[in-house]
Amino acid sequence: MRAAFSILGLVVAFAIVMFIMKQQARSLVPAAAPVAAGASAPAARDLPQSVQMQVQGSLDQAASAAASAAQQ
């Protein structure tokens, strides 16, 4: 009887953890933004390149700000 309650308790705990994990995963997925009829969304293969360009721009900006701060 004790083993049955132990297994039942583990199943209930597992179900609770899975429910919470499902809720957290749902909140991580961004909602798709509606696209206007005239506007074109970036292609999926172009996204990594645009992200790379944004990161590179941010790094360049931070480097120039650091150089400017070092000169002062």
pLDDT, tens only, 1-51: 999 999 999 999 999 999 999 999 888 766 555 555 555 555 656 667 878
- Cα 16 from Cα 20, distance rounded (Å): 6
The overall pTM is greater than 0.85? no
Q: Residue 49: its pLDDT value, please?
A: 80
Q: Residue 3: its pLDDT value, please?
A: 92
Query: What one-character-per-residue DSSP string does 43-72 give?
Result: PTTTHHHHHHHHHHHHHHHHHHHHHHHHH-
